[in-house]
A and B are shown apart, each in its own frame.
Chain A
Amino acid sequence: MARLLDVHGLTVELPVAGGWVRPVNDVSLHIETGEALGLVGESGSGKTMLSLALMGLLPEGARASGEAWLAEEDATSKGVGNDPKNLLTLKEQELQKVRGREIGMVFQEPMTSLNPVMRVGAQIEETVRAHEPSVSWSEARARALAALERAAVPEPKVRAQQFPHQLSGGLRQRAMIAMALADGGSGPRLLIADEPTTALDVTVQKQILELLDRLRRELRLGLLFITHDLGVVARVADRLAVMYAGRIIEEGPAREVLVRPWHPYTEGLLGASPKLKRGKLLPIAGNVPRLDELPPGCAFEPRCALRRPECAAAVPELRAASADHRARCILV
């Protein structure tokens, strides 16, 4: 496998009264071609801000530092070449080419990302032509239909003529996926999906997860799947990264992290998730800390049942629990 995305020391800072906070703090991660990385965290963990930084969509006033290398496409096949580009230093003009063409995006609520007064097919055609103005309208139309078909939208010709509100939530999300993958002859190589199924019913969620998994395999997409739901991530991810208060606190093969977590926060999330088998839930005490009131040591220390005096002294490094499984905890 070839490395598609390589992020080193990514930090995002936002201005607040009296200084800056870091919703993303020194994050490093990588995604291989065809691999699915699940990024897990609760609200305020920084997972969404991280994805916005990768797409150059940070809010006004935010500043990002570090590196995020997206491998250059290999002309000969759908692999990756040797001339990567740093997403964090690209000019807006270059970023526009990357978004859609090389990185596709799917968000939680498709209704807010789709234009309500424009037919679904026309929106996909417009996206195709925005990134590739040389494409004729008839060619754009053919690509839009092909994309809807690829996203398993039933009766794509009929659906293309409809407005977003005429589609169910699941179909709207399929249309979004179609739009994300419609671009360029070959389509993007990296798909960022931020809580793509959170607003959907479970039976529909299952279909969308299966669709994303199939498309990833068929198109050899790298997938960055962002979610708060450990059960959902278990269905789609090869590897997992768990975020807390802006930092990655555990990463490793998905199954290993979920079955044998090392970080007390990961273990806490698992214990707090309701399961079909009734059992006492083990809530995590307290609340997620505010970014402007982070403790000096481990951010989880105030809520941690296993804390020791040294946990409050300094932020622990990510330590290797096994060859590919690491956790930011002194107990490792």
Chain B
Amino acid sequence: MTEFLLEARDLKKSYPRSSRLLATAAGDDEERIAAVNGVSIELAVGETLAIVGESGCGKTTLARMLLRLIEPDSGEIRFAGQDLRAVRGAELRALRREMQMIFQDPFASLNPRMRVGELVGEPLAIHEPAMSRRERLERTAAVLERVGMGADALGRHAHEFSGGQRQRIGIARALILRPKLLVADEPVSALDVSVGAQILELLAELQREFSLTVLLISHSLPVVAQLATRVAVMQVGNFVETGPAERILNQPAHPYTRALLAAVPEVPAA
């Protein structure tokens, strides 16, 4: 029987069409735009599910709801068997450490005032306050080394590093708590091709090594093709097609999936 790490039913989130003040003034405060319009999703332990879609399709809103970074209007979310929308306080914190996220822009997501050692070790300091400084430092150095950064990075600031190195730092920060779920939101979109390939290969290795369940958010089908075991294609707030990556990429059933595939500019084959 398949074991699910994350299950969500009929998630909905809508936003007012314009700001409340303007909407009220215009008398149309009932008018709302559905960002996510009743999506159900299941993530099996150890799989990499990619949500692919164009800008505005709702994929980032969906990912943020699944992590409870934003509240859904309605729907259910279960994480490791627990009702994620009902848990509070210490229970929620305990679940939070099991789910970590890396972002598109490693330039914006790392505090510029903190040294890399503090940045990467901070989640440990928060979730395991009893841990000695020495052990925290050792764990920090170890995870940095695992993502390909030397110990000399510990005392430096994030801005001293290139985009690819910063993304490695972001990955180290996400993995130091040994989470079960890693959400990667456009992890290579801001990087050069040669560096993006390094990050994609690193993510594939780490997924195997740590038995991670990965939720990949991307607009790029070629990026999705490198990592995903399953793919969900999203358009204006709904999944239009889901299935094994092989099938979606080679025998797409939905016209929108076909259009997306046909639009991918590919290098001619040798």
Contact = CB atoms under 8 A, between A and B. Distances in A.
Interface range for B: 35 or more
A114 interface: no
Contacts of B200: 274, 281
B260 interface: yes
Contacts of A287: 162, 164-165, 195
A226 to B, nearest CB: 14
B236 interface: no
A282 interface: yes
Contacts of B55: 169, 201
Interface in A219-275: 228-232, 234-235, 255, 258-260, 268-275
Contacts of B269: 259
A205 interface: yes
A186 interface: no
A104 to B, nearest CB: 23
Given A269-B194, A283-B201, A284-B194, A259 B268 contact: yes
B48 to A, nearest CB: 12
A202 interface: yes
A209 interface: yes
B182 interface: no
B263 A206 contact: yes
B263 A255 contact: no
Contacts of A26: none
Given A272-B194, A276-B249, A288-B192, A229 B265 contact: yes
A43 B165 CA distance: 15
A203 B193 contact: no
A202 B264 contact: yes
Most buried by B among A258, A268, A274, A284: A274
B270 A260 contact: yes
A207 to B, nearest CB: 9
A273 B222 contact: yes
Contact of A259 (B195, B264, B266, B270): B270
B259 interface: yes
A269 to B, nearest CB: 6
Given A201-B55, A203-B263, A283-B197, A276 B222 contact: yes
B260 A276 contact: no
A269 B193 contact: yes
Contact of B265 (A206, A271, A280): A206
Q: Which of B194, B259, B260 has the most CB of A within 10 A?
A: B194
B54 interface: yes
B104 to A, nearest CB: 13
B153 interface: no
Contact of A202 (B54, B164, B197, B249): B54
B194 A268 contact: yes
Nearest to B221: A276
Given A274-B220, A283-B194, A283-B201, A205 B267 contact: no
A231 B192 contact: no
A283 B267 CA distance: 17
A126 interface: no
Contact of A277 (B194, B225, B259): B225
A213 interface: no
Contacts of B223: 274
B217 to A, nearest CB: 15
A43 B191 CA distance: 9
Name the residue among A202, A268, A280 with the largest chain B CB count within 10 angstroms. Answer: A202
Contacts of B226: 274, 278, 281
A231 B55 CA distance: 20
A42 interface: yes
B201 A202 contact: no
B270 A276 contact: no
14 contacts: A43-B192, A202-B221, A202-B260, A202-B264, A228-B192, A234-B265, A258-B267, A274-B200, A274-B226, A276-B221, A276-B261, A278-B225, A284-B194, A287-B164
Interface of A: 42-43, 169, 201-203, 205-206, 209, 228-232, 234-235, 255, 258-260, 268-278, 280-284, 287-288
Given A202-B260, A259-B269, 14 more contacts: A201-B55, A203-B259, A205-B265, A209-B265, A235-B265, A255-B268, A269-B194, A272-B197, A273-B222, A275-B267, A278-B225, A278-B226, A281-B197, A288-B194
